[in-house]
Amino acid sequence: MRFVRTSVGVIAAAVLLTGCAAGGSTGSAEVDTSTNPADVGGEVSYAIWDVNQQAGMEALIEDFNKTYPNVDVSVEVTAYGQYFTKLQTQGSSGTLPDVFWMNGPNFQLFASNGMLAPLAPLEEAGMVDAADYPPAMNELYSLDGEMYGIPKDFDTIAVFYNREILERAGLEEPTSDWTWDDYHAMAKQISDTLGSEGIVGAGDNYDNQPMVYPAILGNGGFIIEDGKSGYDDPKTIEALEFWTEMVADGSMLTPAQNADTAGTQRFMNGQAGMVWSGTWQVGPLLDSVVKDKIGVVELPLAPTGDRQTVIHGIGNVMSAKAAGDAASQAFLAYLGSEEAALIQAELGIANPAFNDTQQAWVASAPDYTLETFLNAATDYAQPYPVSKNTSAWNKLETELLPEAFSGDRPVAEVAKDLAEQMNQALAKEK
């Protein structure tokens, strides 16, 4: 997946989509399965947000065209920070792409405003089968009993580390029994030993999915439960303080440094020793200068003795306006196929959601012990936290948490402020 992270500028989503058709039904969109694939023609626009996956998506299109040679699929790449703002504008003007990537935090907003085509016609035609994907992913992309998204991949979180940097800093490689204290101490030693060369211990990126949420959940805190924010919970505050303490002593990047050059990019450039990240990082790492120096290990244990990861994945969806278009239907169904999943896996693009295809992804990087991510999904994963208008409180996280991480305000003060404003946003969803 490209992963889920907080995004600025999306609070206006409800306003931008006001006036769009309400509810989930988009009318009849029957599928004609009698047509020869070679006779299906037309143009399909496909929108994604990750340039690192563009080549892989183009490989899928090339394979799709072996069966549907007269369907012209064009890939539109928009940076994640602008992606959903652009979609919201397109949704308000009726110009959404035919097929596009969706994530959990934004799904309910688009589906409840009638912007997405339900998948029932494709299921009835035998082109899509929900049983091929993890139930949790089907649930993520369903609303009021109607499925709208075909799971593309799923993500969990682990720690990537640079073996050469650890060795140069005099450190042993971490093992599955390591702790937050170990992570902090190792990052500090790397920064102290190699900082003069521009190398930082931890290149963590301040994104929610790989960094903030796993720490909170592993420490026994929570983000949202029963329509209430968990940011003022003592365990949540303690998890946030873990990161601020690392920033304060130079063990990891400051928010300003990360804004200048993202920590994950520094890691891929050989300028950071470790990073909490997800399955989406594998493809870029295999194409980086440090590709032969990478190790993967489970997240460190929190003071509770527990570790948790969030699980999430991209869904491929079709706009309501394309619901009856044979070319769009065929392409969406292909994206959900075992064949497409295996191509993604073999190229190392992403951990595919199609059942029993993940081993090809593991084999794409045999030195990275990618089983770590699969084990996390079954052993200690929690669903990515969402609500009907997740973007509203994601924006609050983006605005307020940097004040704590940078040391500008006490963590407890920021957390309680965030909880109060988040609860106000959640109350508006009722």
Angle between helices 80-93 and 104-112 (to 10 degrees): 0
pLDDT in tens, 266-292: 999 999 999 999 998 998 899 999 999
Percent of the chain with pLDDT over 90: 79
Residues 60, 120 within the same domain: yes
- Residue 380, domain member (yes or no): no
Q: 10 Å Cβ neighbour count for 196? A: 7
Q: Is 17 helix (H, G, I), strand (E, B) or coil?
A: helix
pLDDT of residue 360: 87
What pLDDT is recorded for position 283? Answer: 85
Q: Average the pLDDT over each of 49-53, 146-150, 223-227, 348-352 and give the range with the smallest value.
A: 348-352
Average pLDDT score over the chain: 91
Domain that holds residue 318: 13-18+35-155+312-355
Amino acid identity, position 12: A
Q: Give the pLDDT confidence of 19-38 residue by residue, as tens digits.
A: 444 333 344 466 666 678 98
Is 197 in the same domain as 110? no
Question: Are residues 298 and 170 both part of a single domain?
Answer: yes
In a domain, 382, yes or no: no
Please compute the mean of the pLDDT values over residues 77-85 and round it to a whole number: 94
Q: Determine contact, residues 199/165, Cβ cutoff 8 Å.
A: yes
Residues 267, 342: one domain? no
- State the angle between helix axes of 390-405 and 411-427 in degrees (0 to 180), rounded to the nearest 10: 170
**Which tens digit of pLDDT belongs to each residue from 190-209?**
999 999 999 999 999 999 99
Question: Whose CA is closest to 246, among 211, 213, 270, 222?
Answer: 211
- Same domain membership, residue 178 and residue 140: no
Residue 381 lies in a domain: no
pTM metric for this prediction = 0.77
Residues of the chain with pLDDT > 70, as a percent, come to 92
Question: Domain of 126: which CATH number?
Answer: 3.40.190.10
Rounded to 5 degrees, φ, ψ at 45 are -95, 135
Q: Give the separation between CA 82 and CA 303, rounded to whole angstroms.
A: 37
Residues 183 and 272 in one domain: yes
Report the pLDDT value the prediction gives residue 269, as an integer from 0 to 100. Answer: 97
Segment 162-179 shows an average pLDDT of 98
153 in Cβ contact with 352 (< 8 Å) = yes
Q: What is the pLDDT of residue 272?
A: 98
> Could you give the dihedral angle defined by the CA atoms of residues 297, 298, 299 and 301, in that order, rounded to the nearest 10 degrees?
-120
Which residues lie closer than 8 Å to 167 by C-beta, 6 or more apart? Answer: none
For residues 283 and 197, membership in a common domain is answered with yes
Q: Are residues 147 and 164 in the same domain?
A: no
State the pLDDT at residue 41: 95
DSSP 158: E
- 3-class SS of residue 402: helix
Q: What's the whole-number mean pLDDT along residues 398-424?
A: 97
Q: Looking at the structure, do residues 297 and 330 belong to the same domain, yes or no?
A: no
Residue type, 13: A
